[in-house]
Amino acid sequence: MTADPLTSSAAPGAEYAGTASAAYRSALEVIESVEPRIAAATRQELADQRDSLKLIASENYASPAVLLTMGTWLSDKYAEGTIGHRFYAACQNVDTVESIAAEHARELFGAPYAYVQPHSGIDANLVAFWAILATRIEAPGLAELGAKHVNDLSEQDWESLRNKLGNQRLLGMSLDTGGHLTHGFRPNISGKMFHQRSYGTDPQTGLIDYSAVAAAAREFKPLILVAGYSAYPRRVNFAKMREIADEVGATLLVDMAHFAGLVAGKVFTGDEDPVPHAHVTTTTTHKSLRGPRGGMVMATEEYAPAVDKGCPMVLGGPLSHVMAAKAVALAEARRPEFQTYAQNVADNAKSLAEGFLKRGANLVTGGTDNHIVLLDVQSFGLTGRQAESALLDAGIVTNRNSIPNDPNGAWYSSGIRFGTPALTTRGFGADEFDRVAELVVEVLNNTTPTQASSGPSKAKYTIADGTAARAHAASADMLAANPLYPGLTL
Ligand code: DSN
């Protein structure tokens, strides 16, 4: 395994590690002089991230260049609107920043159009939903009424158009089979906006059954078919999803927030690359793509003009400092080293999955072919909540997750979701991920649920003496061999 160039001592990150250290030391001194508790928490976060096995599938470590880009006066500028068309004066530098970020995104993903303003994944999906509604419902509605702009409509006509906008259908992957809350679920605004239905996975294999998706689409006739996931450990055939969307006249929206890094790194190509197949593709920039916390939307020419109106339609003022950091991260992702990184992420996930399977653990779908491994912890006699807490005691940071037909619901759950993007950035290889699987199994084998007065507790547990300490000691060696931000001293 080659160490990662952006965060390990082997390459470019190391060239500026000394400079970055000086920059961070100065920054923390300045922060300390105003609110020392924030400086202390910031230092402690680095120490904690350095000392634990970060296996949360949606987290990563951005490079010092990306992180430093966010700490500037670009943050102070208002720039509502879009490139060259702002509602504020003096946006020339924000125009430059946003144009460069969008250009990198278009080039990296081969997209006709990219919009880099969304502040998060939910914002990106909201922009996408409203761009689709504007294109497919509002524009033809206005034309039918002989109007150019919504402000030209009578109150009655606007009311009727508003009802149409708020009464559309969306078909997405169910939450318990790995879909995301923003794909039409009631606690999220998407579920309040749309009449939603879900497709699941095959109960035997745990895999997406495309003929079942097609049948659901034919029956439900959604305006929007959503593909994408946050806890499905397999690849998706987006060409098939597009065929299904086309057959029923739906717009295909792919949310690639989780696997954007595998698309950028050319691990997912052809039918597995969503961008050429989707009408609209959304993503976050901070997960496997390893950029700053934020979102992004890519679209065909047909949807681009509506997406471009994301601010002020859905979004508040763009975060110019974050758009700048997106540009830096996307420039990094265009380097050949990023393709090596992305392939390592997928190879390491396989190694982690095999490590679990050979030690007798059960995995949802029986394995992985992306960056996610979903462990069913029922065979350990634990809930997801108990397993997550016991692993945290041992310095292994994960998150609990529902599994299909989860008997414990979403809060306690029966699964633990693991992801390889972060530790792969640190330089962990296949052998180390096998060792991680061994540590996890050892911790869970030594954890037992605590009896509560009203029967077994779904949250409380006991971990056998010495287990957590042994796991800490074993991971300390691996963490020391693969340091986070080597050369960065505070
Ligand atoms: N919260 C992200 C995740 O952990 O998958 C998705 O929004």
Residues 292-342: tens digit of each pLDDT:
999 999 999 999 999 999 999 999 999 999 999 999 999 999 999 999 999
Whether ligand 1 lies within 6 angstroms of the CB of 190 is answered as: no
Residue 119 and residue 104: Cα distance in Å, rounded?
Answer: 18
Statement: residue 70 has pLDDT above 80: yes
Average pLDDT of the residues of the chain: 95
Give the model's confidence band at 1: pLDDT under 50 very low, under 70 low, under 90 confident, else very high.
very low
Answer yes or no: is 175 a known binding residue. yes
Task: Estimate the crossing angle of helix 430-445 against helix 467-481, to 10 degrees.
Answer: 170
Q: Are 465 and 411 in contact (CB under 8 A)?
A: no
Give the model's confidence band at 455: pLDDT under 50 very low, under 70 low, under 90 confident, else very high.
low
Q: What is the reported pLDDT for 12? A: 40
Statement: residue 377 has pLDDT above 60: yes
- For strands 415-419 and 81-82, give the pairing: unpaired
Q: In angstroms, what is the span from residue 254 Cα to ligand 1's centroid?
A: 15
Q: In angstroms, what is the span from residue 458 Cα to ligand 1's centroid?
A: 23
Q: Are 298 and 285 in contact (CB under 8 A)?
A: no
Which ranges constitute the DSSP H helices of 194-270? 210-220, 238-248, 260-264
Q: What is the reported pLDDT for 11? A: 39
Answer yes or no: is 166 a known binding residue. no
Statement: residue 4 has pLDDT above 60: no
Whether ligand 1 lies within 6 angstroms of the CB of 283 is answered as: no
Distances (CA, A) of 204 to 199, 207, 208, 209, 363: 15, 8, 11, 11, 13
80 noted as active-site residue: yes
Give the model's confidence band at 6: pLDDT under 50 very low, under 70 low, under 90 confident, else very high.
low
Give the model's confidence band at 457: pLDDT under 50 very low, under 70 low, under 90 confident, else very high.
confident
Statement: residue 147 has pLDDT above 90: yes
Give the model's confidence band at 454: pLDDT under 50 very low, under 70 low, under 90 confident, else very high.
low
- State CA 214 to chain mean position distance: 26
Residue 264 and residue 109: Cα distance in Å, rounded?
Answer: 6
Residue 414 and residue 407: Cα distance in Å, rounded?
Answer: 7
Give the model's confidence band at 376: pLDDT under 50 very low, under 70 low, under 90 confident, else very high.
very high
Q: What is the reported pLDDT for 490? A: 87
Q: Among 290, 233, 293, 288, which Cα is nearest to 263's?
A: 288
Q: What is the pLDDT of residues 431-447, one digit of tens each?
A: 999 999 999 999 999 99
Distances (CA, A) of 190 to 167, 181, 183: 12, 8, 6
Query: Burial of 459 by CB count in 10 Å (0-12 exposed, 13-18 middle, 19+ buried)?
Result: middle
Answer yes or no: is 181 a known binding residue. yes
Rounded to the nearest 5 degrees, what angle is found at the Cα of 288, between the Cα atoms of 287 and 293? 25
Statement: residue 3 has pLDDT above 60: no
Answer yes or no: is 367 a known binding residue. no
Q: Among 373, 406, 485, which Cα is nearest to 200's?
A: 406
148 noted as active-site residue: no
Rounded to the nearest 5 degrees, what angle is found at the Cα of 193, between the Cα atoms of 192 and 198? 75
Q: Atom 4 of ligand 1 has which residue's CA nearest to it? A: 58
Which atom of ligand 1 is nearest the CA belonging to 258?
5
Q: In angstroms, what is the span from residue 144 Cα to ligand 1's centroid?
A: 40
Residue 225 and residue 249: Cα distance in Å, rounded?
Answer: 10
- Written as one letter, the residue type at 197 is R
Which whole number is the average pLDDT over 283-291?
A: 97
Q: Atom 1 of ligand 1 has which residue's CA nearest to it? A: 58
Calculate what percentage of the chain has a pLDDT beyond 70: 96
105 DSSP β-pair partners: none
- For strands 53-54 and 396-397, give the pairing: parallel
Which whole number is the average pLDDT over 474-478?
A: 95
**Active-site residue (options: 77, 242, 287, 458):** 287
Q: What is the reported pLDDT for 453? A: 63
Q: Atom 5 of ligand 1 has which residue's CA nearest to it? A: 230
Q: What is the reported pLDDT for 18? A: 73
Give the model's confidence band at 26: pLDDT under 50 very low, under 70 low, under 90 confident, else very high.
very high
Task: Estimate the crossing angle of helix 320-333 against helix 92-109, to 10 degrees.
Answer: 30
